[in-house]
């Protein structure tokens, strides 16, 4: 009798990445189970963004393996395309398509890569726009929306691909303070619905509330990895302790 195997949603093993002389990732390993919420924090230049950009192949890693939903990431063949249709990503700068309406921004992916009909895609898009609470903005252009609304459109765009995993790359860092909470509310809702999420963020209130696992990175390495209760109350390393003091002070 074979044991039932619970496959990791993401398995990163001994990954290295360099940009010229700069080593962005040094021997990073991390596994994420289905439904798990991981929050990655650390000082700038620590490799946290590079790490999640490696997961959907926006950066190529030099050594080590990345397996996403059972597919080994390779920068040739169809593996990359398959992974990208299972992994959504939300960017710091939103990266909406400025020449398309909100609705077209959201339906472009499903129509072209999942071959949905326009009607099906529109219905799906409206469902997700309601979920991020801006269905009334469907026919506007991105530049007519506030930053917070734009980021929520970007989240709806990712969701409309019906991904198994969502990556967030500092989703609130480019937002005015009063718009941060509307985006975090949407992210908390997603976390509670059981979505597998990896978030690079410095929103520690959010992290404490939804994270199953906290990861602290510094100089291309994972320095500390722990459940939030332990992570915030008694971090093992001095580096992590001083970082947390810095960002929690304000």
User: Which residues are at the interface with another protein (CB under 8 A)?
Assistant: 56-58, 81, 84-85, 87-89, 91, 93, 95-99, 101, 108-110, 112-114, 140-141, 143-144, 154, 157-158, 161
Nearer to another protein, 129 or 240 (CB): 129
Distance CA 15, CA 52 (A): 12
Task: State residue 17 phi and psi, 5-degree precision.
Answer: -155, 130
Alpha carbon 212 to its chain's center: 15
Pairing assessment for the beta strands 213-218 and 221-226 based on DSSP bridges: antiparallel
Q: What count of other Cβ atoms lies within 10 Å of the Cβ of residue 44?
A: 8
CA distances from 160 to 95, 139, 140 (A): 16, 17, 18
Tell me how far, at minimum, the Cβ of 167 lies from another protein, in Å: 8
Helix (H, G, I), strand (E, B) or coil at 73: coil
- Using an 8 Å Cβ cutoff, are 245 and 70 in contact? no
Q: What count of other Cβ atoms lies within 10 Å of the Cβ of residue 4?
A: 5
Helix (H, G, I), strand (E, B) or coil at 93: coil
Element housing 10 (H / E): strand 10-19
Nearer to another protein, 102 or 222 (CB): 102
Tell me how far, at minimum, the Cβ of 155 lies from another protein, in Å: 12
- Alpha helix positions (H), 11-58: 48-55
DSSP letters for 39-99: EEE-STTSSHHHHHHHHTTSS--SEEEEEETTEE--SSTTHHHHHHHHEEEE-TT----TT
């Amino acid at each position: 009798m074979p044991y039932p195997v619970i496959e990791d949603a993401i398995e990163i093993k001994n990954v290295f990445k360099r940009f010229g002389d700069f080593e962005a990732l040094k021997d990073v390993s991390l596994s994420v189970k289905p439904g798990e919420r991981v929050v990655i924090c650390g000082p700038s230049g620590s490799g946290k963004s590079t790490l999640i950009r490696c997961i959907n192949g926006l950066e190529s890693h030099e050594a080590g393996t990345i397996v996403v939903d059972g597919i080994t990431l390779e920068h040739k063949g169809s593996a990359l395309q398959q992974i990208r249709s299972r992994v959504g990503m939300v960017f710091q700068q939103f990266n909406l398509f400025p020449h398309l309406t909100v609705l077209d921004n959201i339906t472009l992916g499903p129509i072209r890569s999942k071959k949905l009909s326009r009607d099906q895609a529109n219905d799906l898009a409206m469902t997700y726009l309601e979920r991020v609470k801006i269905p009334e903005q469907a026919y506007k252009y991105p530049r007519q929306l506030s930053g917070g609304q734009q980021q929520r459109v970007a989240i709806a765009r990712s969701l409309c691909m019906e991904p198994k995993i969502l990556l967030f790359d500092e989703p609130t860092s480019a937002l005015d303070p009063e718009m941060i909470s509307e985006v975090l509310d949407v992210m908390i809702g997603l976390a509670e619905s059981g979505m597998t999420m990896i978030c690079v963020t410095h929103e520690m209130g959010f992290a404490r509330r939804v994270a199953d696992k906290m990861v602290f990175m510094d100089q291309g390495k994972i320095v500390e990895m722990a459940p939030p209760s332990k992570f915030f109350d008694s971090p093992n390393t001095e580096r992590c302790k001083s970082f947390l003091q810095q960002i929690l002070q304000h």
